[in-house]
Each structure stands twice: as C-alpha cells, then as structure tokens.
Structure 1
C-alpha cells in the first residue's frame, strides 16, 4: 500500500448494481480504500481482485469506515439494508434515487441514529462515472459541513453540485431536470412519428432536431427571469396569443399524418386556458402557474 493510498479517505459503499459498481471501480482506481457490501454477494467478488474489502453484512461494512455511501434500488431498500446497523458518528451519503420527502425523512431518521446525512441525485449513467469529460455530476443537499468535509472524495466519480441545506433539494433538482428531459424526449418522439410514414430518413432529421433543441434551450433563462420578476410579458418574442393561434396547424398535421396528438394536446390545452384567463400578451411562462396546485 502506497503512502498516497493511505492518505486518501476510506469509503464504505452499500449497493453494487451498475451504478454502484461504477462508483466502486472509480474510487478503487483513485486509490481510496474501499469496503463494499451487496445483498447478492456474487456481485462483490470481482471487486475483491481490484482491491476492495468485501463485508459479510451491511452492519460490518458500516462499521468499517466513517464515510458510508449508499446506492441501492429505492428508499425501502435503504431502510432494509441499514436496519439494525450502528450509524452513530457515521457520515451517511445516500445516492439512492428517491423523492424530496423521502430524503427529508431519511435525514431525520439518520440524525435520530447519530449519523450526519447528505442526500445525492446522480445526473449521469454508469458509463459516465469516472470520466470527467463526460460531464456527469451529482447534486448534493443536506449538511454543508459534511459536503465540504468529503467534497474531494465525492468528486472522484463525478462532479459535485451542492444545492442547499434542505436534504430534499438534491432529489428535487434531480427530478426537475429529468422531467424536462422526458418532455424533450416526448417532443422528439412526436417529431419522428410525423415523418414515420414518409420517404424521409430519420437520420437526416436527427441533426436538424438536435440543433433546434439546442437553439431553443436558452429560453429557460427568460422563463426563470420572468418567474422571479412576476412579469411574464418581459422580453416576449412570440406572445401566447400568437402561439395558441398556430396550434391548429400542429394538430391538423398530426391528424393528416396519422399521428396521435396525445403528447401535444395537454400542453396546448394549458396554453389555451392561460389565454382564456387573459394572458395573451404573456410568454408561455404562465402555464407554469396552472400546473402548481
């Protein structure tokens, strides 16, 4: 063991699915002593050859190191894996996908057991882990002191973005960004469906579509500024009234192409409701207020 290895923070990792295994290999490659546990022991065995210590139980793994990282299937899995373990004086970093409410409840649960808590939302897929140029990162929320203490270690697998003391904020940022992603995928699906029956190569549409989405993406900054100011008419390029007037063309084109409008119609209906409420001179930002209950 080299001096460099001795100086690096020891890590315990619970969970060796695709993401957990990627995290483990990145910490090992960077020289961090690593103890791992997985409910299915066979998944841990290959990591032993790479230098990982294999714990026989979650409790044994937690006892091995102060920094304990959890990357399991869901919040119920976290509850089950850590049941009966001694978390006193442990730094618990939960990278398991969950809801903001689950993160807040888990933070309270951890504190009641004497642990310090940090929640994380991973904005990457396993192949991006350990590849800095891939651009993956993890949202962190909860104890700022805990984040700063382990920032260097946590930054080994992917970039780090701290989003606040509220333990639920990492999950909230995670779901917010992924929700926008699925909206983009829905729009792309509709676009490809429109040309599906035509003599148009989808690979010729793809670069046009990608460039268009990139060009439109900066509009989120105008939306954010309007939400902050409360003035939804600031910087309007194309008014809501004008855009609503154009929606029949989109719906008719879909009908003519034999394509369902189920991905577009709900948004168009919200636009019309906002228009009917007097928002004709606004941007599309007012739709957000219709979504908030």
Structure 2
C-alpha cells in the first residue's frame, strides 16, 4: 500500500491528509497540538506520537508548517536518513535552500513546494503546486505529490518553487487588498460589496490581457507609451487617491501606488509606457 506521513495539521495539512485517504494511501499524521486529527483518525489515519515517529512511518513525509524554522523545531530529533521530505510550507527562497542543505546533511532527500490553492482546492481539478529539488527525487515522488494537485516542476534549485510561489503571492495579495480597498470606498458611499462584485470580476478577468500585453514589452525593455503613457496613468491614480480621501477611508495603500507613478513622471518618463516602473522598483544596480 502507498504510504505517506503528514507533518502539521493546520487547515492545509488536514486537507492533504484527507486527499491521501481518498486516494487509498496509508496515512500517518502528527501535529504539535492535539485535537486536530479526530476526523482523520475516524477515516483510518494513524496518529504518530512524535514528528520523528511520523517520519519513520513512511519514506515520504509531507510537511505543512508555518515556516522553515518550525520544520527545524519539529524534526530536530528525527532520524531523516533515507527519507524524503516534501516541504510544502511557505517561506522565502533562501530559507528553502538552507533547509535543503540541512536535510541533505542528515541523509534525507528534500523537495520544496509552493501550493497555489487554499485548502479547499487540494485534490481538485485545476489545483497546482510548484515543486523544485533533485529531478530524480521529484520523478520518484511525482505520482504521490500529484494526488494533492498537479505538480509544476521548476528545476533542481530548491529555492525556485518558493520563488515562483512568492511571485504569485505578490500579485495575489496586492490584488486582494485592492478589492478590500474598493469595498471600503464603496461602503463609504452607500454601496455594498455585492453591488461592485460584477465589476470586480470583470476587472480581474481583464488583468490577463494586461499581463500578456506588457510581458514582451518588459522583457524587451520597450517603453513605448503610445497606448498607456506613464503620465496619464499617474493622473488616473491621483483621481483614485482623492476619491478614497474624499470618502474618508484610509489611503495608505493607494498613496504608495500614486507615489511610485509620480516618481516615474518626476524622473522624466512621463511620455513612456508603464513598464518603466519595473526599473523604479528594481534593485539599484538593475534600475
């Protein structure tokens, strides 16, 4: 029988354990605090008395903890020799690389993962997970990882899965916070989230076209402003900023955006395209 251990039973870990049970795996689970495994045990999962015991129960352990530091704490005393750790916890790329070295030093194979869906998406069609690490380890464990979501292998560098994941999170969190900013302004003007939801959906759908149109311009350092001059966009952002201010809501997020566009205009790029902002956002040596 296929076997897997799940280290960490937050909402994501529980969803992963459930997906493996659905797929007929023998599942061993461990969580630092008790009480989160009852439903899984009722379905046939086995509770490990420690993280070390959970790792010993299966060649593959799926780790779903708050960050890499929690991995060190949980598995500090475990015998990792000959085991495969697939760390699907969120963290920064450099910490993922350090964790891979730590695991290798203790005889384990290590894969990094970035999960692109919430817990409700685990095991569902359309779900995906970035994976990076040794190709041979990925191929060995691919079928097991695909139980959770379709895996998107990003190469041998253990930091790359987290890099791709965090890039997605940059886009996700700025967009999601933008939605709440819009709801706050709507509410201040007597509207509800439901009132603006159809238009929010349209805007979200339209962003794909903006990404696809701007990507080749960005990669070519093409700053043609024929269709979208930076100065025009800066003026639009000022209108957005003042609409929020006139509504009496917090403008901190919008002010930061407006300031970036002002910097571009002040630097003499007003007639250029908005891809100029990438240089303003980049590290000094690349700006």
| Structure 2 partner of 1:125 | 118
What pairs up with 1:159-178 in 2 under 5 angstroms? 159-178=150-169
Structure 1 counterpart SS, 2:131: strand
Structure 2 counterpart SS, 1:56: coil
Per-residue CA deviations over 1:104-159 (Å, capped at 9, x if unaligned) read 10011111111111001111111222222xx3221111112211211111111222
Gaps of 5+ in 2: none
Cα distance change of structure 1 residues 203 and 164 upon mapping to structure 2, 3 Å threshold: same
Dislocated runs of 4+, deviation >4 Å: none
Cα distance change of structure 1 residues 30 and 281 upon mapping to structure 2, 3 Å threshold: same
Gaps of 5+ in 1: 1-5
Deviates more, 1:159-168 or 1:216-225: 216-225
TM-score by structure 1 length? 0.89
Root-mean-square deviation (Å): 1.9
TM-score by structure 2 length? 0.91
Pick one of 31, 35, 43 that aligns with 2:24: 31
Q: CA contact under 8 A between 1:45 and 1:54: conserved in structure 2?
A: no
Q: CA contact under 8 A between 1:100 and 1:168: conserved in structure 2?
A: yes
Give the drift of 1:282. 2.5
Structure 1 counterpart SS, 2:158: coil
Q: CA contact under 8 A between 2:188 and 2:249: conserved in structure 1?
A: no
Give the drift of 1:199. 4.0
| Structure 2 partner of 1:112 | 105
Q: How many positions carry a matched residue from both structures?
A: 283
Distance in 2 (alpha carbons) for counterparts of 1:226 and 1:215: 18
Cα distance change of structure 1 residues 255 and 50 upon mapping to structure 2, 3 Å threshold: closer
Q: CA contact under 8 A between 2:92 and 2:163: conserved in structure 1?
A: yes
Q: CA contact under 8 A between 1:67 and 1:93: conserved in structure 2?
A: yes
What pairs up with 1:68-147 in 2 under 5 angstroms? 68-132=61-125, 135-147=126-138
| Structure 2 partner of 1:261 | 251
Q: CA contact under 8 A between 2:113 and 2:129: conserved in structure 1?
A: yes
Q: CA contact under 8 A between 2:52 and 2:75: conserved in structure 1?
A: yes
Cα distance change of structure 1 residues 35 and 222 upon mapping to structure 2, 3 Å threshold: same
| Structure 2 partner of 1:276 | 266
Structure 2 counterpart SS, 1:61: helix
